[in-house]
């Protein structure tokens, strides 16, 4: 099943235009994407006054990332290659940062680009496409290292492919410096989350 889902996702990525990729999102997910930065800021704010030293440090780290100037990557396909990826997550229990793990952007066909965080216990895979002037759009799925089922957004599914909407993942991808990216995810049942990416093995 995992191979089927991944192949189905890869087959689509070379044929989707920007409006088609966004149109796959459910109305709820489209709304979450539109408000992802506002939602993240509101969730982060109380943690910046936390009495817990670890939460406070993590909150300041995330706040500093969000304060960096950001723009749309100039050349989407130039992102191809190996990257280091770390997750910063906000929940009702505080703010949590994780170490850097391996990830990659991989070309598929002439114009397709896949992002895959392929190490660590929490993983993601999906399509990176155009989405206006300010950011690139990521649409895919979250999965765990011991999951038998792979990662794909539920909107990609056909009758022969099963996906889990609870594991859907989508977000805005920005450039925040030379060989540095920021991926702000739309909030799902898992809460607000951000990836910081640095190019290199």
Q: Extract the tokens encoding 162.
A: 């099963």
Total domains present in the chain: 1
Q: pLDDT digit string (tens) for 113-141?
A: 999 998 988 899 999 999 988 999 999 99
SS3 label, residue 161: coil
Digit-coded pLDDT (tens) for 33-63: 999 999 999 999 999 999 999 999 999 999 9
pLDDT at 7: 43
| CB neighbourhood size of 18 (10 A) | 13
pLDDT confidence band for 3 (50 / 70 / 90): very low
Q: Residue 116 sits in which domain range?
A: 2-199
Report the CATH number at residue 176. Answer: 2.40.128
Query: pTM for this structure?
Result: 0.89
Tokens of 7: 């192949």
DSSP result, 74-133: S-GGGG-EEEEEEEEEEETTEEEE---EEEEEEEETTTEEEEEE-SSSEEEEEEEEE-SS
Between 18 and 116, the higher pLDDT residue: 116
Instruction: Evaluate if residue 147 carries a pLDDT over 90.
Output: no
């Amino acid at each position: 099943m995992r191979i089927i889902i991944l192949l189905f996702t890869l087959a689509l990525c070379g044929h989707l235009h920007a409006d088609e990729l966004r149109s796959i999102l459910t109305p709820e997910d489209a709304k979450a994407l539109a408000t992802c930065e506002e939602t993240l800021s509101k969730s982060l704010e109380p943690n910046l006054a936390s009495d817990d030293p670890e939460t406070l440090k993590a909150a300041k780290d995330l706040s500093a990332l969000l304060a960096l100037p950001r723009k749309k990557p100039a050349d989407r396909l130039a992102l191809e290659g190996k990257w280091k990826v770390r997750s910063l997550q906000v929940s009702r229990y505080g703010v949590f940062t994780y170490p850097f793990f391996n990830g990659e952007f991989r070309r598929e066909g002439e114009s397709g680009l896949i992002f895959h965080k392929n190490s660590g216990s929490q993983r993601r895979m999906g399509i990176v496409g155009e989405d206006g002037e300010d950011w690139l759009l990521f649409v895919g799925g979250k999965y765990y290292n011991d999951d038998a089922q792979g990662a794909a957004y539920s909107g990609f599914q056909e009758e022969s492919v099963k996906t889990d909407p609870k594991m859907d993942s989508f977000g805005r991808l920005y450039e925040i410096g030379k060989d540095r990216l920021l991926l702000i995810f739309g909030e799902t049942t898992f809460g607000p989350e951000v990836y910081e990416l640095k190019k290199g093995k």
